[in-house]
């Protein structure tokens, strides 16, 4: 229980440093004196950093998982601190300011795999597969709660103190997380390195392909989310911060649903349900127009579906390679990083070309491909049942 509390507190900072950016991308672009496409490129750069996640898995075999989690929190604190002071070090519109912002984004990007890979391995090793969906679902509540902890407050701070004030919230959360993990998680540095080699079977590769495709779909939408709320619905920065409450409620529903039902339904079936919901939501966005009520319905289904998908994927991946859990999880993180970076680069030009309708239809098509790929994956629990019947 103490470890779970520590992780919940720490991940508010890790996830907050990632999530606080998306709704305010247009405002950050204005503050930096650059276009939305340039800031989206910084988001892509942040995502690509996580390609190095397999190095985290290898480091954990030598240093222990807690040490890597502490390092991740240190990256989050350093990145947020740099983004806070950057506007005082270089003028808006200068490449110096863009460079400082890029470094801050990179540190935030490094924080997530440095924390999440060892964290997921920690629980994967200690929690049986049939209860793992519930525990992972609880830890993933912080994805939604980090949005609630950062975005509404940032929406109130930014008009008064500038875009950089959003990261003061992240820095404060990172400090709390550092203390919690250092105090509540026992040290686990191994006396000698235990190598956990991973064989990439066709089924494991297929699962990684599923993750890649549905993550590209999601990122196509995330990077234009703030612009859509401004352009089509006319929301201000403060209103976008308040609109986030709808997103948080949706995500908590999705994460709570996985925690409550994934172990009974099975991870694969739960992922398929999530893909169906998010795909329908993406496809419907073009019909929303300027209706706030319709936007709320679409966003609720969108975020519930996506959260169900991603949270249910983690226990499935953690069991597909029980002998080398951290390494396959790290490859999943790397795959998501490449997918997010690709989506962040493709999202703005697609949105410029056809608005939210074009973005939504492209995302829905990718989700359909992901679902077809997933149908060829055998869930670990199903294999066990078949073996017992034989």
What one-character-per-residue DSSP string does 199-218 give?
A: ---HHHHHHHHHHHHHHHHH
Helix ranges (DSSP H) in the chain:
2-19, 25-32, 36-48, 53-63, 65-89, 95-126, 129-139, 141-161, 166-184, 202-231, 237-265, 267-284, 292-320, 325-374, 380-389
Q: Which of 272, 304, 267, 310 is closest to 139 using CA atoms?
A: 310
**Confidence band, pLDDT 50/70/90 cuts, at residue 7:** very high
- CATH class in words for 2-191+198-389: mainly alpha
Residue found by looking up tokens 């936007």 in the block: 295
Is pLDDT of 386 > 60?
A: no
| Rounded Cα gap, residues 59 and 54, in angstroms | 9
Say what the pTM is: 0.76
pLDDT score for 192: 67
Is pLDDT of 204 > 80?
A: yes
Share of the chain above pLDDT 90, in %: 53
Is pLDDT of 384 > 50?
A: no
């Amino acid at each position: 229980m103490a470890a779970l509390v520590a992780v919940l507190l720490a991940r508010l900072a890790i996830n907050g440093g990632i999530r606080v950016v998306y709704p305010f991308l247009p405002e950050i672009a204005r503050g930096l004196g650059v276009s939305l496409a340039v800031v989206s490129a910084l988001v892509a750069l942040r995502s690509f950093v996580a390609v190095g996640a397999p190095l985290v898995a290898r480091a954990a075999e030598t240093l222990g998982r807690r040490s890597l989690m502490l390092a991740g929190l240190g990256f989050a604190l350093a990145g947020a601190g740099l983004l806070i002071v950057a506007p005082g070090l270089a003028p808006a519109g200068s490449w110096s300011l863009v460079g400082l912002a890029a470094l801050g984004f990179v540190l935030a990007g490094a924080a997530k795999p440095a924390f999440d890979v060892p964290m997921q391995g920690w629980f994967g090793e200690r929690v049986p597969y049939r209860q793992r969906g519930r525990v992972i679902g609880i830890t993933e509540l912080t994805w939604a709660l980090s949005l609630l902890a950062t975005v509404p407050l940032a929406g109130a701070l930014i008009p008064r103190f500038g875009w950089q004030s959003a990261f003061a919230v992240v820095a404060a959360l990172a400090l709390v997380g550092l203390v919690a993990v250092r105090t509540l998680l026992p040290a686990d540095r191994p006396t000698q390195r235990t190598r956990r080699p991973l064989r990439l079977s066709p089924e494991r590769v297929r699962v990684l392909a599923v993750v890649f495709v549905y993550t590209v779909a999601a990122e196509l939408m995330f990077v234009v989310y703030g612009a859509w709320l401004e352009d089509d619905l006319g929301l201000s920065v403060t209103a976008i911060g308040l609109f986030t409450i709808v997103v948080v409620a949706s995500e908590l529903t999705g994460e709570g649903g996985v925690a409550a039902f994934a172990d009974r339904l099975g991870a694969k079936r739960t992922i398929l349900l999530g893909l169906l919901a998010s795909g329908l939501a993406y496809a419907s966005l073009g019909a929303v127009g300027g209706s706030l009520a319709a936007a709320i319905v679409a966003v609720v289904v969108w975020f519930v579906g996506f959260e169900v998908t991603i949270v249910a994927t983690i226990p499935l991946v953690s069991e597909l390679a029980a002998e080398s859990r951290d390494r396959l999880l790290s490859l999943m993180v790397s795959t998501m990083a490449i997918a997010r970076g690709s989506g962040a680069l493709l999202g703005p030009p697609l949105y410029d070309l056809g608005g939210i309708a074009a973005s939504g239809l492209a995302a829905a098509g990718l989700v359909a491909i992901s679902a077809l790929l997933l149908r060829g994956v055998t869930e670990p629990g199903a294999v066990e049942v078949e073996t017992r019947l034989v």
